[in-house]
Structure 1
Amino acid sequence: MLIEEELLLSYGAEIEDFKPSYIIFEENSTPKYYYQIIKGRIKLNHYNDEGKELILAILGKGLSVCELLLFIDEKYPVNAIAFEETTVLKLPKSDFVRLLDENQQTSRDINKFLSERLYQKYIMLENNASLRPDVRIKGALNYQKSFSDDGSKFSFEVPLTRQQIASITALRVETVIRTIKKLEKEDFLKIINRKIYI
């Protein structure tokens, strides 16, 4: 949990429920709220000029959604869409800023979280520039695992389908399937009931 629920509620956060595929905010809209996931998952995506979906992240319980944009005067570069039945805490931007001003440790925790995300994003972007599918896929899977507290091997169930991994890495689905089988043979990941574990 990035920020304690009680603290968010004490600053006026409201609980909202979203149905699957509900658009929480759209690309080019103005950030007005801090969102933190209580349950469910939220997909951050973008559509390229040909209308092809690029999934940038799938966020789960305890994580915040594009909070970094509350510190700058920019529009959202992505869409946030409920991936499944999802419940969030929603706090207006001005109250979020006040919460951070009045709670030094929480402010430091947010800074650390943002730094970790930025670091992992750099690594993923570097990997996505590779011509090798295995390097791209490892980068995408490691980025997803970076949101988990448990870093031990095969402890993290990747919350993505092969199609979604293809969308994240800009690879063909067939290439993803073939490369995942290769990575399993190399002991980088495990497949259990069609689910990928790293």
Structure 2
Amino acid sequence: MLISEEVLIAYGAETEIFKSGEIIFSEGDIPKYYYQVVDGRIKLNTYNEEGKELIFAILERGLSVCELLLFIDRNYPVNAITFEKCTVLKLSKISFEKMLDENTQISRDINKFLSERLYYKYIMLENNSSLKPAVRVKGALDYYKSFTDDQTKFSYQIPLTRQQIASLTALRVETVVRTVKMLEREGVVKIINRKIYV
């Protein structure tokens, strides 16, 4: 949990419930709220000129949604769309700034979180520039495992379908399927009931 729900509510956060496939905000919208996932999953995506979906992140319980845009005057470069029914806490930008001003530890936690995400985004960018599908896929899997405290081998179930991994890595789904099987043979991942563990 990035910021405790109690603190967010104390500063005026409201609970919103979204259906599966609902848009929280769209590319080009002006950031007005801090969003934090209480339940469910949200994807940050765009579509290229051919209409192919590119997924930048999949956010789960406790994570914030594009909070970095609250610190600069820029419109959203992505869409935020729910994967399933989601509960989200929504705090106005003005209240978010007040909360940070009055809580130095929360401000430091946000800075640490942003720094970690930026670090892993650099890693993802480097991996996605590789011509080797295994490097791209492993990079995406490692990125998602980086959100969890338990880093022991095969302790984390990747919350992505093969199609979603393809959208994250700009690979074809067939290539992802072959690559995941290869990574399993090499002992990099474990597959249990079609779920990928790293």
- TM (norm. structure 1) is 0.99
Report the RMSD for the aligned CA atoms in angstroms.
0.6
Runs of 4+ in 1 over 4 A off after TM superposition: none
1:8-55 Cα distance to aligned partner (Å, 9 max, x none): 000000011110000000001100000001110001111001110001
Alignment of 1:99-110 (within 5 A): 99-110=99-110
- Tell me what 2:50 maps to: 50
Secondary structure of 1:30's partner?
Answer: coil
- Tell me what 1:21 maps to: 21
1:112-148 Cα distance to aligned partner (Å, 9 max, x none): 0000000000000000000000000011111111111
Matched residues, number: 198
Does 34-43 or 142-151 show the bigger shift? 142-151
- Tell me what 1:72 maps to: 72
1:161 maps to a residue whose letter is: T
Does 151-160 or 65-74 show the bigger shift? 151-160
Query: Residue 62 in 1 paired to residue 62 in 2?
Result: yes
Q: Which runs of 5+ in 2 are unaligned?
A: none
1:63 offset after TM fit, Å?
0.3
Query: Residue 2 in 1 paired to residue 2 in 2?
Result: yes
- Tell me what 1:82 maps to: 82
Query: Residue 184 in 1 paired to residue 184 in 2?
Result: yes
2:113 maps to a residue whose letter is: F
Alignment of 1:147-166 (within 5 A): 147-166=147-166
1:150 offset after TM fit, Å?
1.6
Q: Distance in 1 between matches of 2:71 and 2:151?
A: 29
1:20 maps to a residue whose letter is: S
Q: Distance in 2 between matches of 1:150 and 1:31?
A: 33
- Tell me what 1:115 maps to: 115
Q: Distance in 1 between matches of 2:179 and 2:161?
A: 14
Q: Distance in 1 between matches of 2:35 and 2:125?
A: 25
Q: Distance in 2 between matches of 1:111 and 1:158?
A: 26
Does 145-154 or 49-58 show the bigger shift? 145-154
- Tell me what 2:194 maps to: 194
Q: Distance in 1 between matches of 2:87 and 2:154?
A: 28
Q: Distance in 2 between matches of 1:76 and 1:150?
A: 32
Q: Which runs of 5+ in 1 are unaligned?
A: none
Q: Distance in 1 between matches of 2:157 and 2:77?
A: 27
Q: Distance in 1 between matches of 2:148 and 2:29?
A: 29
- Tell me what 1:12 maps to: 12
Query: Residue 141 in 1 paired to residue 141 in 2?
Result: yes
Alignment of 1:29-44 (within 5 A): 29-44=29-44
Q: Distance in 2 between matches of 1:47 and 1:32?
A: 23
1:189 maps to a residue whose letter is: V
Query: Residue 98 in 1 paired to residue 108 in 2?
Result: no
1:137-171 Cα distance to aligned partner (Å, 9 max, x none): 01111111111122111111111111111111111
